[in-house]
Chains A and B, each alone.
Chain A
Amino acid sequence: NLAAAGPEKFTLEYIQKQVEEYEIGKRHLANMMGEDSENFTQEDIDLFDFIYLFFLLKQICFYFQHPDEIFPKQRAVQWGADGRPFHFLFYTGKQSYYSLMHDLYGKILKIEKHQDRLRAKGLFSQDAQLISLGPSRWLTKEELELLLVETISTHDYDRFIKLMERMLAMPYSSTEEEFVQRYRRQLEAQSMKQMMPPLEKDENGVAFSTAEGRRKTSDSSVILRDCGSGHITINGQDYLQYFPVLQDREQLMFPLQFMGVLGRFNLECTVSGGGRSSQAGALRLAISRALLSFLSEGDGEAMRQAGLLTPDPRVRERKKPGQEGARRKFTWKKR
């Protein structure tokens, strides 16, 4: 992995040579595959199977990505032909970081001036629009380093975040929203809502819903019909026949009994894999999920709190070498 190879300095000529070879390789590939070599895009390359191609291509090494994405970004030479550096903070050593801090402080001063002007006119109000950022987080130190193309210490990073927070805490900071958003990343929206299976209607007008559940190595699928008879079929057999043990039948009943809808629904289940207990557990999860579409939000929340909707993550732990089982060690002998 070249990108993780540490701070090696690849010269500009080397990278340019790699880019040329990449282009030539791309053309070879296109010709071999009979595709149009002019419009052969990165996506077409990605579709191919790597091992098959390695032997076909005449070049010894072909990067399946553009070299700019493989080699880490580096700085070009910082000064012109007369020796004068391009950036006015070049002599500090960390020019991008310090110029960022300089700009940030400039923005804070601008906001303060704006506040003073409003105060002079008498229009200043303390609780005026603070920036609404939405579900987002600050850039991590690594992402900031990538953005600035230079290394910063944790101390520098903390100071940057503190200064940003200070700016956000000021009233009338919404003018700099666009600047702040550049340094925030959106969090994936974690919906608190449960994934409900949809409620369908079959030919006779009976409402039903389908759900699946898993436990250990068992997979189950349940169709819950709103008939009113309380009839249960598993893999074609009656549930009394399939689960002779009371404990397994209790597991099936628990979601319905918890909600108090024991006699209302018809269950048509299929289950495979695992043993008797894990099949019962898989079925219980599937039934609870299917039941969500028939119940209200409050009942659904009650089920979630009871733990009926949480898939059990426990699986069989592997046996390790040098031990009898997953945890059991061999008998220790003193001599």
Chain B
Amino acid sequence: IDVLTFVSYLGLLGFRYSRAATVASPCGGHHYVTAPSVKPPQPQADDVTEKILNQPLEKPDFFRVAELFSLKDLFDARVHLGHKKGCRHRLMEPYLYGCRLDHDIIDLDQTMEHLQLALNFTAHIAYRGGIILFVSRRRQFGHLVETTAKDCGEYAHTRYWQGGLLTNANIQYGPGVRLPDLIIFLSTLNNVFQQHVGIRDAAKMNIPTVGVVDSNCNPSLVTYPVPGNDDTPAAVELYCRLFKMTINRAKDRRKQMELLHGLSAPTSQTSRYALK
């Protein structure tokens, strides 16, 4: 799945929201609800933002996420350890390297590729100022996931998932709420060993997902599955660290690009137009 289609889709999503944002019109602050699509007052700023947004799409690994981890790191963090043969999910069989003494071993070469794709995608989303939601229903790692999200400046949900959070958002949160642009599942199962409701809801709401799928999980609805262990603390800490680094890297890169192209001190207004 190439990044371009998703990014252009995001562009559409962003366009929907820009109408709600207050517009600094030259006549001094009045904005009309019935006005059609808003033309930005500064065409130069628009060109610059277009350039900033399109530049990362030229290279395959613009943010160099492949440098963040190596196969040895994955092995040391015990990412290759799956569950027992009896717990194996049928759709996970392509991702498994083999089975030793009834324990499934996940193929780390495939994990490397998938993780690279997932991190690259996350970086692009973070670069364009998207909302990222970290989800995990494991009580062991709830605090860690929440701290990771806080450090990145993104959002987390490690608690009981109420049914209408994504699908009934306008009533649950209030009208005009913005939904996450990416959901990262650090464990796709909930406490009863069933697939997390968020995966299905995200698919319904056209929200891309990145998910760490273990050998007992169903990878079919996840947009960027990352086959790997989700039970060991070392593995989960590795994932949290990697996601945090990619997001921070992407955001810093964005700030750099804006300063480089001479945009006046990036106010909250200009960075919001980025999604258009």
A binding-site residues for B, Cβ under 8 Å: 77-85, 88-94, 98, 102, 105-106, 109
Contact = CB atoms under 8 A, between A and B. Distances in A.
B129 A82 contact: yes
Contacts of A102: 143, 146
**Is the interface on chain B under 10, 10 to 19, 20 to 34, or 35 or more residues?**
20 to 34
Interface stretch (B56-64, B149-157, B255-263): B149-157
B144 to A, nearest CB: 10
A77 B157 CA distance: 20
B178 interface: yes
Given A81-B268, A85-B155, A91 B178 contact: no
A90 B155 contact: yes
B20 to A, nearest CB: 7
B198 to A, nearest CB: 10
Interface in B47-86: none
A289 to B, nearest CB: 58
Interface centre among A82, A84, A94 (most CB of B within 10 A): A82
Which 6 residue pairs spanning A and B have beta carbons closest together?
A83-B178, A82-B272, A88-B150, A92-B157, A91-B157, A92-B159
Interface string B130-151: 0101000000000100110110
B208 interface: no
A79 B272 CA distance: 13
A257 B219 CA distance: 90
Interface of B: 17, 20-22, 129, 131, 133, 143, 146-147, 149-150, 153-157, 159, 162, 165, 172-174, 177-178, 180, 268-269, 271-272
Contacts of B165: 91, 93
A98 B157 CA distance: 10
Contact of A81 (B22, B133, B180): B22
Contacts of B22: 81
B21 A91 contact: no
B162 A89 contact: no
Given A83-B21, A88-B156, 18 more contacts: A77-B174, A78-B174, A80-B268, A81-B268, A82-B129, A82-B271, A83-B20, A84-B178, A85-B155, A85-B178, A91-B155, A91-B157, A91-B180, A92-B157, A93-B173, A94-B159, A98-B159, A106-B143
Contacts of A77: 174
A111 to B, nearest CB: 14
Contacts of A105: 143
A88 B268 CA distance: 18
A79 B177 contact: yes
A89 B173 contact: no
B141 to A, nearest CB: 12
B177 A89 contact: no
Contact of A88 (B20, B146, B162, B177): B146
Nearest to A80: B268
B146 A89 contact: yes
